[in-house]
Amino acid sequence: MEDINRPDRRDPPKMAKIAALAESVVGLTPQCMVVVDDNLMSSVCVSGSFDEEEKWVNGIWENSRYFRFFINPRKGARYYKQGEKVTIELACKWTLHKEHPFRKSTTTPEKAIQRIVAWVEKVKGAQS
């Protein structure tokens, strides 16, 4: 299998524009990051925590109020093609709060990011 992260490959990830849109989520929580990758398949991962790092038990992210969203090409396609819809899903979140569901869906990249922002805002509002 070809590793597209080889030094001689200079192509930007196929979902780089979607990752740039997802950066709007970063300021909404104390800890958040966006990772885009094309190595095995195109994907954007938005991970965050509603807690400051100092409050994580034993300094472990999974011991905080965390979440991780994945944005992938629709219907299991391996690589994203510009203009296609994407599939968004909440892959994991802290287990103590199951009252904040998120339904997996296929939509436009812009709406996918809007759904993440709306979910984060909803959870933040419920915790205040």
CA distance 118 to 62: 22
Residue 10 confidence (pLDDT)? 61
Q: How confident is the model at residue 38 (pLDDT cuts 50, 70, 90)?
A: confident
Which amino acid belongs to residue 116? I
Per-residue model confidence as pLDDT tens digits over 1-13: 455 555 545 677 8
- For the chain, the structural domain boundaries read 16-127
Average pLDDT over residues 21-32: 91
pTM score, whole prediction: 0.85
Other beta carbons within 10 Å of 34: 20
CA distance 71 to 90: 9
Q: Quick one: what percent of the chain has pLDDT higher than 70?
A: 89
- DSSP letters for 90-126: EEEE-TT-TTS----EEE-HHHHHHHHHHHHHHHHHH
Per-residue model confidence as pLDDT tens digits over 87-112: 999 998 886 567 888 899 999 999 99
Residue 60, pLDDT > 80, answer: yes
Longest dimension (CA), the chain: 49
Residue 6 confidence (pLDDT)? 52
